[in-house]
């Protein structure tokens, strides 16, 4: 009888390559984050846009994402998570591991206007994120559907004053810069309009162009094509001076509304605790692409200014902007109810 040799259930000796891979993995897990950051990125990077497609946040993210991917050597996937005036997508970024694989677009709405008024927003814009770079500052615009009985700011004010509560305005969401600035406009001009919030400027613009809502407050990059095509009529812009793109349209400052004359901004942040080497790599990738003549032109053609500041400068800017909106909320006694 030949003795039966029982086969071991598991190989006693793992193939050497598997052992090495397991050791490497274990060693990797023990490495400090800064060391891991040297290899970053080794897989695709998700860039959360906390507004719907078609708005300026989405436009800026998509304009830089290809060049950013080329510079980082990994795909950059733009992920639209609209809602709550940008709060939903921003909260999602704040909750991720600070490994650089989830980044988010940060705007004046998500870092200043919304946190200033929404006490239940769920994140602190100054401590729950790592600022990376502010990409661009954009003018804002109030525009109307061509059926609205006004073509300029004087007639616009007259129409509002003669019909309190008759008109509504669309914005990119509750507590967004559009919402906040229009509440400020109402308070300073003694007018009344009803706010209609959307998941971003994309859908807000669509409904205004379709005539569902007569007025929209938006950032210029997304609104400009509709103004140029005559589907919307620009009434006033928030910009330091009149824009080459809309020379006939006055600034809010010219209307005597200096407080409404504030630009919007679009930057990139990570969750808090993002290692500095990751911050520097992402910032350098964005800077490189935004400074390329083609991307620079695409951004500047919308009346926007490239900012491309340092993480510390961006942090200071967020702090200052939050303080501005906190003051607006306090002095105008604005509430979300
Ligand atoms: N108005 C928003 C902001 O400045 C962005 C709107 C959008 O991208 O839909 O934060």
pTM equals 0.88
State in Å: Cα 251 to ligand 1 middle: 19
User: Ligand 1 within 6 A of 83 CB?
Assistant: no
Atom of ligand 1 nearest to the CA of 138: 4
User: Ligand 1 within 6 A of 55 CB?
Assistant: yes
State in Å: Cα 42 to ligand 1 middle: 31
User: Ligand 1 within 6 A of 51 CB?
Assistant: yes
Class of residue 86 by CB neighbours under 10 A (exposed 0-12, middle 13-18, buried 19+): buried
pLDDT tens digits for the chain (337 residues)? 344 444 434 333 344 444 444 444 444 444 555 556 789 999 999 999 999 999 999 999 999 999 999 999 999 999 999 999 999 999 999 999 999 999 999 999 999 999 999 999 999 999 999 999 999 999 999 999 999 999 999 999 999 999 999 999 999 999 999 999 999 999 999 999 999 999 999 999 999 999 999 999 999 999 999 999 999 999 999 999 999 999 999 999 999 999 999 999 999 999 999 999 999 999 999 999 999 999 999 999 999 999 999 999 999 999 999 999 999 899 888 888 7
State in Å: Cα 178 to ligand 1 middle: 8
Residue of 286, 259, 234, 270 lying closest to 48 (CA atoms) = 270
Residue of 206, 161, 229 lying closest to 218 (CA atoms) = 206
Helix (H), strand (E) at residue 137: strand 129-138
User: Ligand 1 within 6 A of 80 CB?
Assistant: no
Query: Is the sign of the CA dihedral 208, 213, 218, 220 positive or negative?
Result: positive
């Amino acid at each position: 009888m030949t003795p039966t040799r029982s086969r071991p259930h598991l190989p006693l000796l793992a193939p050497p390559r598997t052992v090495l891979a397991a050791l490497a993995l274990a060693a990797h897990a023990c490495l400090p984050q800064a060391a891991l950051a040297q290899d970053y990125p080794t897989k695709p990077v998700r860039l959360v846009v906390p507004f719907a497609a078609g708005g300026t946040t989405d436009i800026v993210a998509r304009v830089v994402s290809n060049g950013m991917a080329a510079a980082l050597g990994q795909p950059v996937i733009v992920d639209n998570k609209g809602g709550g005036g940008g709060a939903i997508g921003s909260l999602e970024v704040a909750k991720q591991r600070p490994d650089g694989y989830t980044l988010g677009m940060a705007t004046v709405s998500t870092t200043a206007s919304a946190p200033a008024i929404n006490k239940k927003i769920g994140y602190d814009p100054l401590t729950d994120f790592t600022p990376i770079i502010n990409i661009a500052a954009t003018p804002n615009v109030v525009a109307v559907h061509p059926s609205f009985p006004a073509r300029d700011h004087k007639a616009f004010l007259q129409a509002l004053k003669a019909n309190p509560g008759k008109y509504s305005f669309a914005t990119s969401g509750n507590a967004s810069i559009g919402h906040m600035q229009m509440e400020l406009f109402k308070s300073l001009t003694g007018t009344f309009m009803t706010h209609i919030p959307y998941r971003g400027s994309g859908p807000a613009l669509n409904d205004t162009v379709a005539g569902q809502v007569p007025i929209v407050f938006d950032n210029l990059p997304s609104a400009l094509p509709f103004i140029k095509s005559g589907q919307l009529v620009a009434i006033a812009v928030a910009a330091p001076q009149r824009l080459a793109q809309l020379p006939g349209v006055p600034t809010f400052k010219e209307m005597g509304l200096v407080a409404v004359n504030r630009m919007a901004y679009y930057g990139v942040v990570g969750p808090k605790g993002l290692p500095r080497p990751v911050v520097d790599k992402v910032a350098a990738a964005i800077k490189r692409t935004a400074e390329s003549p083609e991307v620079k032109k695409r951004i500047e053609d919308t009346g926007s200014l490239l900012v491309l500041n340092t993480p510390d400068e961006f942090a200071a800017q967020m702090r200052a902007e939050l303080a501005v909106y906190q003051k607006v909320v306090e002095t105008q006694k604005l509430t979300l109810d």
